[in-house]
Structure formats: C-alpha cells, structure tokens
Amino acid sequence: MDGGGLAILRAQGLEVEEGVLGEACARFHAPFFKLIHTGLPWVSLKLALGSDGALGPEGRTTPITPPEVQRLGHALRRASEAIVVGRHTAEVDDPQLTDRWPAPTAPHRTFHRVVMDNAGQVPPGARVWQPVAGQPALRAITGDPGPLRGVEDLRLPPGSRGCSLRHLLHELAARGVGRVLVEGGGTLVRAFLDQGLGDEFHRFLGDAPAGGTPLDLPFPRNWQVRAQARWPGGYWEVWR
C-alpha cells in the first residue's frame, strides 16, 4: 500500500505488519508486474526432451511424456492467453494447439493460437487453422503470402531468425495477452532464450534417449530450478 493506507490504519490504532508472504506474492504477481512495467507479456517456454537432451529425429514426432503428464501441458495452456509454435512444429506434428483443459473458462476468455510462419508455408489444410470458438488462429508473417480463410495475419518486421519476437509479444499484449506459452520447437525456444525474452522454462525430461541432435539451451546465468516433480520414466522441472 503506497497511498498512505498504512499510516491511516496505524492512526486508528491498528497494528500493521509489513512484508507478510512478500516473496510469494511477488512471484505470484510477476506476470502482471512485468506487463505493467515493460508492456510485454510473461513468456513460459516448454519442451519435452529425451535423456540425451534431444527432441527426436528430424521430421518425426517422438512421444516423450505419457498422457497423464501431457495433461500438465494443457494446464499450462489454461494458465495462458496465447500459445506460440514454430512452422516446423505445425507441419510435423499438425497440432490443433487448443486449450482442452476440462474445467469451464470465463465466457469472455480468448486463447490465441499463433504459428510463426514467416513466408506462409503451413498449408491451408493444417489442423491449427481450423476454426475453434474463442480460440482464434493467428499467423505471424514477414512477407505477403496469400490470405487464409478465418486466419488473422500478424505482419511483423523481420528479426534475427524470421519474425521479430519482441514485436510479436507487443502485438499480443495489445490484444490483452498477459501470459504466453511457447511450446516449440527447439529453434523457436532457443531464439526466445537468446534474445532474453523468456521468463521461465518448463523442461520435461524422459529417462530414455529421444534421438536426433541434442539441444544447447542458453539459460540465463541467474536461473535456478524453482520446482521439480518425477513420474515413472522421467521428471519435470521449472527454471526461472
């Protein structure tokens, strides 16, 4: 309370203690504070990797987490207002990217499904472009590809690797997005880390190797493991 509220309470003879659960409250409200201070949403990065630190062979979907653990991924979607993936992920996995957490949401909630598709290469028949009520599909582009029916284009300036990620985050913030979940692939997640645009990283690690090229993820030096849990066959950890 900075508006004199503490002084008013004390003047009425009430005992006031400051800093109660201050650190926990700061962590809980960190996304809101970031949006207010920087104009950028909170960015959660998520990848599932094998014990070899790889996503799997190029061009092939490699399951790493069991269905019960995958549900945690949908909890992360429910905690966000937008999900972002790269073109390669959209083409190989052909995901819907929908929020399918079973509990009902507020009627006014909008969940944005964003594909980084600089040149408009993801085909019109991709599942992510299928209309879903309250969950619009957005295509982040730098060129001028032909329009897709029912899909909004975000024309962004080019960045170091395709579209400017910082401009993307500003565009999403202008649409009321306070939390963004970046689900992959590895190149996109690394780009967010390289540019200092990630706020936390959810890493799901299987006990078996996935195959393919191991990812070198440049975590900020001050990041630490803030939470951790294990399931039969692997574990999950949060870096921040």
Q: Specify the pairing of strand 200-206 against strand 234-239.
A: antiparallel
Model pLDDT for residues 73-88, shown as the tens digit of each residue: 899 999 999 999 999 9
Give the CATH number of the domain where residue 218 resides. Answer: 3.40.430.10
- Look at residue 5 and tell me if it is in a domain: no
What was the pLDDT predicted at 199? 98
Residue 82 lies in a domain: yes
Model pTM? 0.91
List the domain range (segments joined by +) for residue 198.
40-239
Q: How far apart are CA 194 and CA 207, in angstroms?
A: 27
Mean pLDDT over each residue of the chain, to the nearest integer = 93
Q: What is the pLDDT of residue 2?
A: 57
Residue type (1 letter), 174: A
Kindly state whether residue 199 falls inside one of the protein's structural domains.
Answer: yes
Cβ atoms of 122 and 87 within 8 Å: the answer is: yes
Residue 14 forms part of a structural domain: no
Identify whether 26 is part of a domain.
no
Q: Are 16 and 10 in contact (CB under 8 A)?
A: yes
Q: In the beta sheet, which residues pair with residue 235?
A: 205, 230
In contact, 93 and 117? CB cutoff 8 Å: no
| In a domain? residue 99 | yes
* Interatomic CA distance for residues 89 and 184, integer angstroms: 7
Q: What is the reported pLDDT for 3? A: 58
Residues in the chain: 240
CA 30/CA 238 separation, integer angstroms: 15
| Residue 188 placed within a domain | yes
Instruction: Identify the pLDDT of residue 1.
Output: 45
- Which regions in the chain score pLDDT beneath 50? 1
Does residue 8 lie in a domain region? no
**Buried-state track 134-156, b at ≥16 Cβ within 10 A, e below 16:** ebbbbbbbbeeeeebeebeebeb
Amino acid identity for residue 227 in this structure: A
Q: How many domains does the chain have?
A: 1
In the numeric block, the tokens 């092939």 are attached to 60
